[in-house]
């Protein structure tokens, strides 16, 4: 880390990875859009694009410096890079400005994932205000803790590609948000089946594609570590797809939605671990995540939580599991750190502390922010708007099917 | 025979189907429609302006039944499709003169 | 530029970028396809694929050499590279043949954008003939002027990634074409609302994704300049999405179509500028483009021009604005040239001359070509074919929805 | 090949290529999904995802070592790499583990292509069992023969990117499979028109995009050879699209489905040749493939074979033609070997032997495997399940259109 | 009561709706259909061959009205849906015996 | 006049259309529906459990004809839509009181 020269191969890699991760944000929109009733499909996809747009502006003005500015008390970054001041075209291996962009697209997707909790009932204007606050007050601190020199980083917590920062934050945030905004009208009484599964599968395919960039790109270099991250990502996704499908097959028919949800669960769980574990561990991690997240989904339905599109079950619980699994399965030969099964109890405890603090922080802060928005400008559309659907009510548009 | 045409909320289709099946009415044909009632659709407020939502997605259910079953079917649908809120829908009854099964050699005329 | 050796990092970058730009051509088809009536969606998408196919053959036989052969009078390239003679697997940084391919996919997308002006009414056979002529007589000269050593290049006009060559040419070409072919039957009387907005959003997502390759790839190297181009591209898109959405919100509901159109406007406007301006300028450029292109669209509707899918408003006017904005905002620290705000009036004038000549040339030449085609083999389908829709009438296919 | 050091540029290239090839597997699902009746669209897409998932697990446990373990009698690889033992993060140019992943995604897409032969009637559980067996007993040996040091490799057969290994195997396999499983109920009597052509075009676009990685990536380095492979891939696709479209135009209207099928035919045919021929040869190869595969499709329909989505006509026959064409058109200046037209009869004969053995092996083995499955657990769903459609019958899901 | 079923060009839906609303007829149900008239669809020339376009997308509008309103509705639709060109569409009138509102306790029989 | 409503298998639409056209019946309106008959849909076996497939996609064909043509149309449809297997469909006949062409000044009342 003391060469100050650009490496074209690494730069090429991270440039393309950044574009691929950017594509994941609309992909979240497609993935979610296929799962809502047709009257809300445009709204659901648009929320992802809007997440990308507002987080982009937030990040280049204030977000990047809050996350990666000089550390203040382990908690937040200073304002050194405000408005990207001093973030230039040169850098160490890759251009600084590229590192900034790579981090930006992570922040964008976190917000997009969060929309699961408010699907089919959020007021667009309130979402924009909420989104800016959430990124600033929830995401940015978490990014700083893990990657910007904050306390978690100092403590030695491992989060290779953002299991804690991106997935725990958005998953548990979505749960909090769903509690504040309340259930959809008719939830549990009306049928609210996914109406456009091919759109969800398309979104899932693009997510899977982009996830290679998300995980392998986090090596920030085109090297063996990136290749390892790539491979375990692929394996974990496959493993999760098969176990979720298998588990649901026992109860009924194996839906394609279960299969793709399992793949996403596997992808989430391997995210923090992908720089620290090898292929065989990734079969276990992905496979366990598939079953665990499927169980969490059943639990959510049983509890009648309307965390509508299961960001909590998949990203929240999957991310939490991944953080702990990293502490269990880490292999020193790959990422330099051993996990619990190699006797390193300390690392497991560190992972636990890191993950549960993130769970608590993101749940509580999201809850508070959502409450404030709800009490002031109102989070939710009116009953009539919900009835006609957000496509028409919020965007004045509809699909002609 | 009569054709009962019910135009209901999409979300209520499952309930209506179940309740009808319970009463022994399995046969039906459904399709997606858009509609508005007398009150000319739903009116959303938007920046103080009246903002008319024109046509709302609904599901149309067509059920052909014997004359003496009409009342039961209507009552069943009324009960299970009702939410008490705007947009609950309407039921129309019209005459059907003949029913022919394509497979079997059945002919029903009334 | 006097090393004659391949750089694997740069080659890797431009290889992938070329694939990503190729994907933009079908993406234009999806973007447009979602905006037409369902009876023309296949036709609209197919026109993009066909653009790619015919331009590929045109480019490798004659187009590349007309654009990049030795300069003849500042106007056109010579026939040195006819049939790719002498375009080999080695080169300077990247293989020559790869540079050729990267340029090819730019030519293809320009023709695809042009189909906006003839949507739902062009005769397929005539489009193929017209497309070959247009690429040869409009696109190739413009590419030569800017990048092949032509007069604009000599004059010092800046067009980093093709604002003039690709977007002005196709945008103003589309306008001319729409004048020649005439309005769709019932235009202004029937409602012709977009019928498949999720397809448009998907196309928009893929365009946004590919645009990183379009702009950053134009650096032809995986370096700091590419990273800068990448970042300003992302910012400008976000900024454009937000201002168009905001401006349309004042007048009514913020449609997702407006949001994505604003993003595309921002992407177009930053295209010529992306190697010359920094992040803060890109917020301004993208934001202004969003508002300006939205205003142009309103003007077009008011004027009852049936340039049906707004290539003129977004690509034409956005590209023109971007060319001028490059002359205003260029920062020497990034691309070596200062703009108007740093006192370099000359550059602004050069940009103006370049852009307006391109506007005039592409509008007039497209108009003449379209007239010739129309008078000879006829540009337009019959009234009955238009009524049943081009999917059935031209392709014998239809969607079963 | 005796440097044992990683090259970042090459590694970056192959990493991204692997992700792009992975995307091709869901793309096959979309491509096929648009061609079946709406009641089977989810099933068709899901089969591709499931192919990816099961082949991933198969490959990392046993498949890779069977293909690339030390050669046993020219026929199969030994178990040296079982469970990826010894496949590490370092390597020669690119990490070994990355090479493994690049090969993995090829194996996955081959199985996905095969689903053409059983569309709308395969039992999901049987497909999973069959898929595992097919990959192990058909694909893995073929991969070993061509690339893992097997007899075809020793003989000097040329297959740059898998024309024989991927396309002949899956195309002729699909034909065998369709014979065993039997025709769809009502085939030839009911109309079974493609119902969702835009989905097919989207799948086609993603396939075309990914194919650059498939072919150029097979250079395993970001160099001139990769660039050449990229360019001829693009040209061949364009040429195939145009000739198929033209040929079908003579008989009726030029469908977009014909256009995209021609592009795929061109892509298939250039696959084995792309490291051995130049641009002009690729126009001929792609163009001939378009016409040949279209003719094969007409032949299949005439013969009333229900190889439902034409994997045989396009991948099988296209791949066979490509293998032979490689022997005809190879240019020593590009790939070091001359073909028939430069007087090298031997190479042509080698290509013929290689291709026809692959045809025979994959057809016969697939037939036998399918028969075994059919006699034991049954390949096909019941008549009633077929009638209601596999979406509901196998997955318990349906599209709400 | 009568059900008026109009099958019109998709492009004319907006106009028809507006004109009906102006005359006080707001309530209606619409859905997408495909159809052809007596002349067996539209016949396109293609390489000299007659090339039949079979079924053209249309919109069906169902409006249930009182008997004495039938004429007004028909005239209104005729005027606003008309282009004078092939494919303008058709209107059918059929009997409806009862209308029941699901929400309110309304029952209309005629 | 009568409206003949046939609910058939999607796969049989082409055959039915051709056979009707041969007999001189070109005009028709079709749309996609879902339906089930008396036997309450199709019942798939799944792990020993009865697994009900509720509503199957069908196509509805509406044809308005003169009274004396009803029988021919019904017979034609019966023959060409029939497979003898479950799900062949049903035909309903109901009265139509008036037919109005939008383009021409035609009015047919019977
Ligand atoms: N007179 C009518 N003619 C045809 N369709 C009607 C009529 N009245 C109501 N409908 C249909 O019934 C649906 C429900 O009616 P109602 O509950 O009155 O409407 P709303 O949704 O406005 O509350 C409407 O959306 C429309 O499809
Ligand atoms: N006899 C009929 N029965 C059912 N539907 C009919 C009948 N005649 C016409 N239609 C419907 O009305 C539509 C318009 O009819 P018309 O204007 O005569 O047809 P065209 O579109 O061929 O000009 C048709 O597309 C069809 O949907
Ligand atoms: N009584 C009825 N009312 C309305 N629609 C009916 C009725 N009976 C049958 N249908 C329609 O006709 C279709 C075919 O009927 P039938 O052949 O009896 O059903 P199945 O598909 O269960 O064999 C059903 O799917 C349904 O759409």
A28-32 average pLDDT score: 98
CB environment C147-176: b (16+ within 10 A), e (fewer): bbbbbbbeeebbbbbbbbbbbbbbbbbbbb
What is the pLDDT, as a whole number, of residue A1?
Answer: 40
d(CA D159, CA D320): 11
Backbone angles phi, psi at B53, to 5 degrees: -95, 115
Is the pTM above the cut of 0.90? yes
B16 and B77 Cβ atoms separated by less than 8 Å: yes
DSSP string, C240-282: HHHHHHHHHHHHS---HHHHHHHHHHHHHHHTTTTTT--HHHH
Q: pLDDT of D40-67, one tens digit each? A: 999 999 999 999 999 999 999 999 999 9
- Looking at this predicted complex, what is its ipTM? 0.93
DSSP conformation class of B38: T
What part of A 194-233 touches D (C-beta under 8 Å)? Answer: 194-198, 201-202, 204-206, 208-209, 212-213, 216, 221-228, 230-231
CA-based angle E60:E66:E68, to the nearest 5?
Answer: 110
Check D231 against C97: CB less than 8 A apart: yes
A215-236 average pLDDT score: 98
CA distance F38 to chain D (A): 17
Reply yes or no on whether the pLDDT at E71 is more than 50: yes
A23-44 average pLDDT score: 97
d(CA B68, CA A318): 57
Cα–Cα distances (Å) from E105 to B8, B13, B89, D326, E26, in that order, read 16, 21, 12, 79, 21
Alpha-helical (H) ranges within C34-123 are 41-58, 64-68, 96-114
DSSP string, C202-227: HHHHHHHHHHHHHHHGGGSSSSHHHH
Decide if C95 touches D, using CB distance below 8 A: yes
Reply yes or no on whether the pLDDT at F42 is more than 80: no
Under 8 Å CB-to-CB from D190, ≥6 apart: which residues? F9, F11, F12, F14, F15
What is the pLDDT, as a whole number, of residue D252?
Answer: 87
- Closest CB to A191: pick one of B14, B83, B86: B14
DSSP conformation class of D316: I
Check F98 against E95: CB less than 8 A apart: no
Half-sphere exposure of A34 (CA within 13 A, CB side): 25
D348 and D155 Cβ atoms separated by less than 8 Å: no
Under 8 Å CB-to-CB from A9, ≥6 apart: which residues? A222, C8, C9, C12, C222, D7, D8, D9, D10, D11, D12
Radius of gyration of chain F (CA): 17
Reply yes or no on whether the pLDDT at B46 is more than 70: no
D374-395 average pLDDT score: 93
A180 and A194 Cβ atoms separated by less than 8 Å: no
CA distance B56 to chain E (A): 9
Tell me which residue has tokens 């076996």.
Answer: F45
Reply yes or no on whether the pLDDT at D165 is more than 60: yes
Percent of chain F with pLDDT over 90: 56
C200 and C30 Cβ atoms separated by less than 8 Å: yes
Name which of E20, E36, E74 to mutate to probe chain F: the one with the most chain F Cβ atoms within 10 A of its Cβ.
E36
Mutate which of B4, B5, B6, B7 for ligand 1? The one with the most ligand atoms within 8 Å of its CB, which is B7
Tell me which residue has tokens 């008026």.
Answer: E4
Instruction: Point out the residues of chain C with pLDDT beneath 50.
Output: 1-3
Cα–Cα distances (Å) from C30 to C45, C46, C173, C237, C315, in that order, read 6, 9, 20, 19, 17
pLDDT top residue among C134 and A385: C134
Taking the CA atoms of residue D225, residue D227, residue D233 and residue D234 in that order, the dihedral angle to the nearest 10 degrees is -160
Q: pLDDT of E2-49, one tens digit each? A: 999 999 988 889 899 989 999 999 999 999 999 988 765 566 655 545
Cα–Cα distances (Å) from D313 to A93, D175, D272, D317, in that order, read 48, 9, 17, 5
3-state DSSP helix/strand/coil percent for chain D, to nearest 5? 75, 5, 25
Cβ contacts (< 8 Å) between D101 and chain A: which residues? 227, 230-231, 234
A175 and A363 Cβ atoms separated by less than 8 Å: yes
Average pLDDT score, chain A? 96
For the Cβ of E39 lying below 6 angstroms from any atom of ligand 2, the answer is yes
Check E11 against C385: CB less than 8 A apart: no
What part of D 140-169 touches A (C-beta under 8 Å)? Answer: none
d(CA C28, CA C33): 8
What is the pLDDT, as a whole number, of residue F31?
Answer: 96
d(CA D172, CA D366): 8
What is the pLDDT, as a whole number, of residue A209?
Answer: 98
pLDDT bin (cut points 50, 70, 90) of residue B45 is: low
What is the pLDDT, as a whole number, of residue F110?
Answer: 54
What is the pLDDT, as a whole number, of residue A398?
Answer: 85
B59: β partners: B8, B32
What is the pLDDT, as a whole number, of residue D2?
Answer: 45
Average pLDDT score, chain C? 96
Residues with CB under 6 A from ligand 1: B 7, 33, 35-39, 41, 56, 58, 86-90; E 27-29, 62-64
User: How many angstroms is it from F97 CA to the middle of ligand 2?
Assistant: 16
What is the pLDDT, as a whole number, of residue A2?
Answer: 45
Q: Which of E5, F24, B97, C132 is nearest to D242 (CA)?
A: C132
A97-116 average pLDDT score: 98
Mean pLDDT lowest among A389-393, D377-381, E89-93, F74-78: A389-393
d(CA B55, CA B34): 5
Check F101 against E92: CB less than 8 A apart: no
Q: Which of E13, E70, E43, E33 is nearest to F62 (CA)?
A: E33
A80 and A67 Cβ atoms separated by less than 8 Å: no
CA distance B32 to chain A (A): 10
Mean pLDDT lowest among A154-158, B10-14, C267-271, E50-54: E50-54
d(CA A387, CA A392): 10
d(CA A342, CA A356): 23
Tell me which residue has tokens 């891939």.
Answer: D233
Q: Which ligand has the nearest atom to the CA of F96? A: 2
């Amino acid at each position: 880390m003391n060469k100050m020269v650009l490496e074209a191969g690494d730069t090429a890699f991270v440039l393309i990875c950044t574009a691929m991760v950017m594509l994941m944000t609309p992909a979240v929109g497609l993935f979610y859009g296929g799962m809502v009733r047709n009257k809300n499909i445009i709204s659901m996809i648009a929320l992802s694009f809007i997440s990308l747009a507002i987080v982009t502006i937030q990040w280049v003005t204030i977000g990047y410096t809050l996350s990666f500015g000089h550390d203040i008390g382990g908690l937040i970054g200073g304002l050194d890079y405000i408005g990207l001041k001093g973030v230039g075209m040169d850098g160490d291996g890759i251009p600084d400005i590229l590192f900034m962009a790579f981090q930006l697209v992570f922040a964008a997707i976190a917000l997009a994932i969060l929309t699961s909790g408010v699907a089919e009932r959020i007021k667009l204007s309130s979402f924009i205000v909420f989104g800016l606050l959430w990124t600033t007050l929830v995401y940015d601190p978490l990014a700083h803790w893990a990657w910007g020199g904050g306390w978690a980083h100092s403590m030695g917590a491992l989060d290779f590609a953002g299991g804690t920062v991106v997935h725990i934050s958005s998953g548990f945030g979505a749960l909090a948000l769903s509690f504040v905004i309340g259930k959809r009208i008719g939830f549990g009484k009306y049928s609210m089946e996914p109406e456009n599964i091919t759109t969800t599968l398309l979104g899932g395919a693009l997510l899977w594609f982009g996830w290679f960039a998300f995980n392998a790109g986090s090596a920030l270099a085109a090297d063996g570590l990136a290749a390892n991250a790539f491979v375990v990502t692929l394996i974990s996704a496959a493993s999760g797809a098969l176990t979720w499908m298998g588990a649901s097959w026992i109860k009924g028919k194996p839906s394609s939605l279960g299969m793709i949800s399992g793949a996403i669960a596997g992808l989430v769980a391997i995210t923090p671990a992908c720089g620290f574990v090898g292929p065989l561990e990734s079969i276990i991690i992905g496979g366990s995540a598939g079953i665990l997240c499927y169980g969490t989904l059943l639990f959510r339905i049983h509890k009648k939580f309307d965390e509508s599109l299961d960001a909590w079950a998949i990203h929240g619980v999957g991310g939490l599991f991944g953080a702990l699994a990293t502490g269990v399965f880490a292999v020193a030969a790959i990422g330099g750190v051993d996990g619990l099964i190699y006797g390193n109890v300390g690392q497991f405890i560190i992972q636990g502390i890191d993950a549960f603090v993130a769970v608590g922080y993101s749940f509580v802060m999201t809850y508070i922010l959502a409450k404030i928005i709800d009490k002031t400008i109102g989070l939710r559309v009116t009953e009539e708007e919900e009835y006609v659907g957000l496509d028409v009510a919020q965007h004045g548009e509809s699909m002609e099917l | 025979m009569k054709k009962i045409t019910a135009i209901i909320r999409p979300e209520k289709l499952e309930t209506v189907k179940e309740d009808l099946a319970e009463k022994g009415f399995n046969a039906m044909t459904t399709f997606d429609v858009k509609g508005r009632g007398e009150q000319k659709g739903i009116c959303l407020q938007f920046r103080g302006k009246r903002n008319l939502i024109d046509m709302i997605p609904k599901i149309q259910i067509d059920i052909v039944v014997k004359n003496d079953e009409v009342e039961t079917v209507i009552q069943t649908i009324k009960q299970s499709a009702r939410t008490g809120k705007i947009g609950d829908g309407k039921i129309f009854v019209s005459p059907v003169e003949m029913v022919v099964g394509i497979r079997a050699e059945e002919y029903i005329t009334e």
